[in-house]
């Protein structure tokens, strides 16, 4: 995976006014999941409590993303033949909340750009998600790679603590527009 070095104490909203970093990546566009290049999501879906029938349906269906990024505002619509979901995030570390589609709990996300080095181009966009009962948390890191033609996402789910309770999933989306 690519390096992102954000620590909780450096979340932008905790250190004052925030603007997009100079040269920050604009992720806007239409994207489709590349199943062959992406990892198997089964372990993560099981850990999140997604029922067997839904996991099987999601395993091979096309997954489309529409990302609309306007300065510090991010709207993402995920569409499949099974489900469609729209999420809104602020890119300055402001918490946003949404209902988990699986367990119906109210989860909190903080999203911000983190400058990074390595193979990816531009900036790394990090989201940290917390569940209210504290039994799990998730870090999502996003990059544009392959000259901006691939949207690369690494989801890391931590269950209750310990290295053996960490599940990572890599997803690659090809640009459609």
The DSSP code sequence of 96-146 is: EEEE-TTT--EEEEEEEEE---SSSEEEEEEEEEE-TTSSEEEEEEEEEEG
CB 67 within 8 A of CB 76: yes
The residues, any chain, with a CB within 8 Å of residue 26's CB and separated by 6 or more, are 69
Tokens of 113: 């750009």
Query: Residue 36 is encoded by which pair of tokens?
Result: 């062959």
Model confidence, pTM: 0.84
Residue 81 phi/psi, 5-degree rounding, is: -70, -15
- Would you call 57 helix, strand, or coil by DSSP? helix
For the segment 131-141, the average pLDDT, to the nearest whole number, is: 90
The per-residue pLDDT for 168 is 94
Question: What per-residue confidence (pLDDT) applies to 37?
Answer: 96
How does pLDDT run across 11-33, given as a tens digit for each residue? 444 444 567 777 788 999 999 99
Give the span between the Cα atoms of 136 and 162, in whole angstroms.
11
pLDDT at 61: 87
pLDDT at 165: 86
DSSP code at position 54: H
| Average pLDDT taken over every residue of the chain | 83
- pLDDT, one tens digit per residue, over 76-93 is 999 988 789 999 999 988
What digits encode the pLDDT tens for the residues 52-84?
988 888 877 899 999 999 988 999 999 988 789
Strands (E), the chain: 29-33, 64-70, 73-79, 84-90, 96-99, 106-114, 121-130, 136-145, 150-159, 166-175
């Amino acid at each position: 995976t690519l390096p992102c070095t954000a620590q909780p104490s450096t979340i932008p909203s905790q250190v004052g006014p925030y603007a997009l970093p100079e040269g920050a990546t604009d992720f806007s566009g239409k994207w489709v999941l590349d199943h062959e290049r992406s990892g198997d999501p089964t372990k993560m879906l099981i850990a999140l409590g997604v029922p067997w029938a839904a996991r099987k349906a999601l395993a091979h269906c096309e997954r489309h993303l529409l990302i609309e990024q306007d300065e510090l505002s991010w709207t993402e619509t995920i569409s499949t033949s099974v489900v469609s979901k729209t999420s809104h995030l602020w890119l300055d570390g402001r918490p946003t909340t949404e209902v988990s589609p699986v367990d119906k709990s109210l989860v909190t996300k903080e999203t911000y750009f983190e400058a990074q080095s390595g193979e990816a181009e531009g900036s790394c966009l990090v989201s940290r998600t917390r569940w209210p009962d504290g039994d799990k948390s998730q870090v999502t890191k996003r990059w544009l790679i392959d000259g901006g033609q691939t949207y690369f996402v690494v989801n890391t789910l931590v269950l209750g603590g310990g290295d053996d309770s960490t599940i990572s999933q890599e997803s690659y989306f090809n640009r459609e527009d």
